[in-house]
Structure 1
Amino acid sequence: MDWLWRAPVIAGSMTWEILWALILGFTLSAIVQAVVRREVITRALGDDSPRALAAATGFGMASSSCSYASVALARSLFRKGASFTAAMTFEIASTNLVVELGIILALLMGWQFTLAEFVGGPIMIVLLAVLFRVFLRRRLVDDALRQAERGVAGSMEGHAAMDMSVTGPGSFWRRLTSAKGLTSVSHIFVMEWAAIWRDIVAGLLITGALAAWVPMGFWQSFFLTDHPLWARIWGPLVGPIVAVISFVCSVGNVPLAAVLWNGGISFGGVVAFIFADLIILPILNIYRKYYGVKMAAFVAGTFYATMVLAGYAVELLFTLLGLVPSHRNASVVEAHISWNYTTWLNIAFLVLAAVLLIRFFTTGGLPMLKTMGGGPDDTRHAHDAHDAHHADHGHDGPAPAAPEDRRHHP
């Protein structure tokens, strides 16, 4: 039965290798979200100008790395007045240009892949803005807005609707270390984990199964490794398709990307595969519910096209600069836990996570956590829990209404 046991062993060893990086990334994300109000974000994203898209990219990088939560948050921004292009830009940045993704890519695959992700992300955003400007019609955006306004509820929508940021006088550090700031950081940290842990677990288990049970010869044949030129063309085309049918998203797709890289997929194919967390089958269904069938199809088509083109661009650029790794030795191996730097980092960050968990549960976070479970009344319950949180911790009541001026056409 060794063949059956080897898959969870690989998954467990990879979890141990990346645990501290996950905690660090989600902590940094929670800190940023705790000191910036969402209304400030939406006021900056009202059109598809370079300035608005740059702001959307920056806000996305500082926000959630959960694909499902970012999709729901993008819909919330769209409803509040952000342009559809800016909302989709935010969505791309919040899942593909975040700290934890870069750290885990470096740990498992090498710094070249981290650099490729942060080079390819802006390329994809620029390409998407161009395609939206040329092909997206006002009528389609208006229809999508009407569908979005119907209020399709879900656990991720409730998560995205809650604004637990702390604003007011004082420096960044003073607001962060205040009682309100620590409470907000702990709540956002836990809610982010509640939204994404299934994706991470699924990604690690799928990775373990593929690494243990699929012969390397299959991947080498599938990715055309005997034909270098065709492999470079084929990789970005098929990478997103593998992601779509694997159901793995967010940070959870990095371990699977490591398996594919070792199996022979091209460098650009890895980049396209990682970008494709926003068009996996469950998220395509969410697009259909949020924006209607036509807009869902438009988003799927344009996202796929930009992922492929960004993969080609990164492959060409990194090949010319000599930055494509010459060896396929991503960390998808069984490892033994020993007293090295990874163990010490994991212990330190597990202590930090424990402190945030204690703060979360001792400041009334459990009702909000229960809203993540799904159900038709999630959004209403999320708002109720959010209002109770503000009342308990001295916030000034509900956030002001968003401006009525909505510039949706790109």
Structure 2
Amino acid sequence: MDRGETVSAIGHALSLAGSMTWEILWALILGFFLSAVVQAVIRKSTIVRLMGDDRPRTLALSSVLGAASSSCSYAAVALARALFRKGANFTAAMAFEIGSTNLVVELGVILALLLGWQFTAAEFVGGPIMIVILAVLFRLFVRSKLVDAARAQADRGLAGSMEGHAAMDMSVSGDGSFLRRLASRKGVTAVAHVFVMEWAAIARDLVIGLLIAGAIGAWVPESFWQNFFLTDHPLLAALWGPIIGPLVAIASFVCSIGNVPLAAVLWNGGISFGGVIAFLYADLLILPILNIYRKYYGPKMAAVLLGTFYLSMVLAGYAVEIIFGTTSLIPHHRNAMVMDSGVSWNYTTWLNIAFLTLAAVLVVRFVRTGGRSMLAMMGGSPEAEHSGHHRSSGPEGHDEHHHH
């Protein structure tokens, strides 16, 4: 390949990544805004109180609370550990973790945009199935001795880069209705802070995810994927998809929202419907996160999490394939949004302008209310970590320690 061809190949990959970014930008901002609103007015102490055991009702509630919280896999994993350390049941903490990466609004919106509403529906049907399977596997294989060892390890407090972010309780104290707290000065500031912190947490993974999807979309020929996903044998393809989907995800290193563009590329390439869903769930098993589990809970529990999560993802993928196959809801055409075209004046452009304006307002508020120091704290530096445990300085510097 000569230099000109190399430049053109890189250009093609970057233009694909850029087009995808433009398509999903407003949806991302909307999702993170809604997530920030919820986190700003629901207290972490409330969440812990509701997650004390592993009864079905508690697990359902944990996954809903997760869905209402974060969206980056790294933040979700750190947050689940924080809840576990504060007394949440381990299974409930894992249900929360799954909810907060796989059942969040922004993921649903972007799936609908890039792949179609059927994938959003499948994500939300398969998620609870995965949590049920995981709870059963935990009952069978996770002994209380293992959980105690994991809790001892978690209490050592090894910091990850998302530690500061997960440890902060950004919720606004005070009485009054949800809307009144939200509209107050503290409320607006808290929303701005959570919004920017969430973006800071996910930006790197999102960029990497889009670049990987662009590169694979531009450089890997369709024929490779069709052979790899056994598209000539529909039954084998349906069996193979959920087994291979998570393995592709583990190798691709990309966080929750970041792997939707890659899912679009894989779907166009011929992976089964259930395979796409299993692939999307596996953002909780990527190599960096497996390493975090090892640090958080010890190598034994990390191995158990790898095995149980993987099995529950595969089985949830099969369940989705069967449910959507028998109801004829699996799309027949593989034309997920992996655009070659550039930017054009359409509703996407108007939505992007509107939501970029909202984002700009929130960023200005963040900077004006001392947000820079919080970003430094989120970097997980030892001093910041130390001060973060004593006093999670919430919006406008008021001490939030009293309602942890």
Tell me, yes or no, whether TM beats 0.5.
Answer: yes
| Contact 2:392 2:400 (C-alpha < 8 Å) held by counterparts | no
Shift >4 Å, 4+ stretches: none
User: Can you list the C-alpha shifts for 1:92-136, whole angstroms capped at 9, x where unaligned?
Assistant: 000000000000000000000000000000000111111111211
How big is the shift at 1:376? 3.4
Q: Which residue does 1:368 correspond to in 2?
A: 374
Matched, 1:308 2:289: no
What does 1:7-406 align with in structure 2 at a 5 Å threshold? 7-383=13-389, 386-387=392-393, 389=394, 392-393=396-397, 395=398, 397-400=400-403
Q: What SS is found at the alignment partner of 1:65?
A: coil
- What is the TM-score when the length of structure 1 is the normalising length? 0.95
Please give the secondary structure, in 2, of the residue aligned with 1:225: coil
Preserved CA contact (<8 Å) 1:10 1:334: yes
Distance 2:10 2:22 in 1: 20
Question: 1:50 Cα shift?
Answer: 1.4
Encode CA deviations 1:115-173: one digit per residue, 9 max, x unaligned: 00000000001111111112110000000000000010122111100001013221111
Query: How far apart are residue 339 of structure 1 and its match?
Result: 1.4
Query: Aligned partners of 1:400, 1:150: CA distance in 2, in Å?
Result: 23
Contact 2:278 2:316 in 1 (8 A): yes
User: Partner letter of residue 139 of structure 1?
Assistant: K
1:383-406 deviation digits (Å, cap 9, x = unpaired): 57732x46x45x4641346xxxxx
Shift, 1:54, TM fit: 1.4
Q: In structure 2, what residue type is equivalent to 1:228?
A: P
Give the whole-Å Cα distance in 1 for the aligned partners of 2:50 and 2:278: 29
**SS of alignment partner, residue 237 of structure 1:** helix
Q: Distance in 2 between matches of 1:321 and 1:298?
A: 34
Given that residues 203 and 249 in structure 1 are in contact (C-alpha distance below 8 angstroms), is that contact kept between their aligned partners in structure 2?
A: yes
Distance 1:177 1:5 in 2: 45
CA distance in 2, matches of 1:41, 1:377: 28
SS of 2:335's equivalent in the other structure is coil
Kept after mapping to 2: 8 A contact 1:77/1:87: yes
TM-score (norm 2): 0.96
Distance 2:322 2:363 in 1: 45
The one-letter amino acid paired with 1:399 is: H
For 2:4, the equivalent position in structure 1 comes to none
| Residue 377 of structure 1, CA deviation | 3.7
2:3 corresponds to? none
> Alignment identity in percent?
69
Q: Is the 8 A contact 1:158 1:380 kept in 2?
A: no
Do residues 3 (structure 1) and 6 (structure 2) align? no
CA–CA distance in structure 2, aligned partners of residues 59 and 85 of structure 1: 14
Q: State the Cα deviation string for residues 217-253 of structure 1 (Å, max 9, x = none).
A: 1000000011111000000000000000000121000
Contact kept? 1:187, 1:360, Cα under 8 Å: yes
2:84 touches 2:90 (CA, 8 Å); kept in 1? yes
User: Structure 1: how far apart are the matches of 2:247 and 2:400?
Assistant: 45
Amino acid at match of 2:120: T
- Mark the runs of 5 or more structure 1 residues left unpaired by the alignment: 402-410
- Residue-pair matches, total: 398
Q: 5+ residue gaps in structure 2?
A: 1-6
Q: Distance in 1 between matches of 2:277 and 2:325?
A: 14
Say whether the 8 Å CA contact 1:244–1:280 is kept in structure 2: yes
Amino acid at match of 2:146: L
Contact 2:38–2:68 (CA under 8 A) maintained in structure 1: yes
Aligned-partner Cα distance in 2 for 1:73–1:239: 26
Q: Deviations over 1:337-376 (max 9, x none)?
A: 1211000000000000000000000001100111233433
Name the SS of the counterpart of 1:272 in structure 2.
helix
1:368–1:382 CA contact under 8 A, matched in 2 = no
